[in-house]
Structure 1
Amino acid sequence: MNITYKINEIVDVEQFINLLNNTTLGERRPVNDYNCIQGMLKNSNLIISAWVQDQLVGIARSVTDFNYACYLSDLAIDEKYQRFGMGKQLITLTQAQLGPRCKITLLAAPAAREYYKHIGFTQNEYCWTLDRHQTVTSLANK
Structure 2
Amino acid sequence: MVKHHLTYKHNALITAEQLSNLYKASTIKRPYDDLDRIQKMIEHADIIITAWDEEKLVGIARAITDYSYCCYLSDLAVDIEYQKQGIGKELVHLLQEKIGEEVALILLSAPTAMEYYPQLGFDTIQNGFIIPRKQ
Partner residue, 1:16: 19
Q: Normalising by structure 2, report the TM-score.
A: 0.93
Letter of the aligned partner of 2:40 in structure 1? G
RMSD of the alignment, in Å? 1.0
Q: Matched residue of 2:85: which SS?
A: coil
Alpha-carbon separation, structure 2, partners of 1:89 and 1:131: 29
Partner residue, 1:57: 58
Unaligned 5+ residue runs, structure 1? 134-142
Letter of the aligned partner of 2:12 in structure 1? E
Matches within 5 A, 1:1-142: 1-25=4-28, 28-133=29-134
Q: Normalising by structure 1, report the TM-score.
A: 0.89
Alpha-carbon separation, structure 2, partners of 1:40 and 1:120: 26
Alpha-carbon separation, structure 1, partners of 2:66 and 2:36: 24
Per-residue CA shift, 1:3-44, capped at 9, x if unaligned?
00000101110000000000121xx21111111111101000
Larger radius of gyration: 1
Q: Percent identity?
A: 43
Q: Matched residue of 2:77: which SS?
A: strand
**1:118–1:99 CA distance, 2 compared to 1 (3 A):** closer
Q: Matched residue of 1:80: which SS?
A: helix
Per-residue CA shift, 1:85-132, capped at 9, x if unaligned?
000000000000013210100000111110002222101111111134
Which range moved further: 120-129 or 83-92? 120-129
Alpha-carbon separation, structure 2, partners of 1:92 and 1:132: 29
Q: Is the 8 A contact 1:67 1:100 kept in 2?
A: no
Q: Matched residue of 2:99: which SS?
A: coil
Letter of the aligned partner of 2:92 in structure 1? I
Runs of 4+ in 1 over 6 A off after TM superposition: none
